[in-house]
Structure 1
């Protein structure tokens, strides 16, 4: 397994874990190469194992009531998170107002915050100022780059000489990303080189 790109992460999924609106958290709990997911916040399942709740199989990722209880658990441990990832995927991609308190608290700790919602955190001046003050980063995964950094389709993908499998679906939260990772892991186990190119926020 590859070393995670962004290190230990706590996933915020209050009120949505094990529901369709928790699909981003589900994907991260099942597998990600970007983070080492060490816990999930959802008070409804506090004290339980995320894998057992989601798939009926323990995976060692604990669920917490809130940020404070997670901090108490990780105190003095090498698994202390350095990122908070928004694992909610509500209809319309809007961030619940209560979630901003947890985000602000994470920034106060000097943690980075990543969000795949349509509600951009970087549009909140208070959060941006806090991140700058604490020397940490806010990333809005869905935020479009400046126009001068965009380009039209080039067709360069045709130069990639390998088998390409497209995993498609007609709706959200039906398992496209999970299916893709199952295939990637199967191919790697068979001794083949395989990578997933994702188009959604959880895949990123």
Structure 2
């Protein structure tokens, strides 16, 4: 859950994966096939000749180098900047507030995520069904959403674990006076390998 488009994530990962796969396959073919070197040599010489011709035909005014080199450097810089922006955006979307209301009568009401974290962690931590629990909050399209992650003990039924968590979520809703959207993630245990339940509205 972050602010980066999921489709863009997958497209970038796929493109980089295909590129690395192609490079690796080409290197493997060149190392294993005896005739690969003889085939690649004239191709590389042709590419070098064509590249040199392009550089000679596109001189930068008042300099002894081609403007194509500047274009390549500019493209690389832009690519690096985009990759840095993409990397820094990963993991974002977290929020420290689960309730933020403003009314004429009561003014502004803010409930920090630590309230939900402490309440749920204490309640679920006292249960033998769970080994570990964690609570965090994310901003999803302007709406605070809790993410509750719990690791179940071996043999715990996902249905039983979900029921326990939902009961504590109902108590939290009663405390807050509203129902907070929740993403529940259960893991661990022999019968509870991966189970997800959502209360996203």
Which category describes the TM-score, using the shorter chain as reference length?
Answer: under 0.3
Larger strand proportion, structure 1 or 2? Answer: 2
Give the TM-score normalised by the residue count of structure 1. Answer: 0.20
Larger helix proportion, structure 1 or 2? Answer: 2
Give the TM-score normalised by the residue count of structure 2. Answer: 0.20
Q: Tell which structure's C-alpha radius of gyration is larger.
A: 2
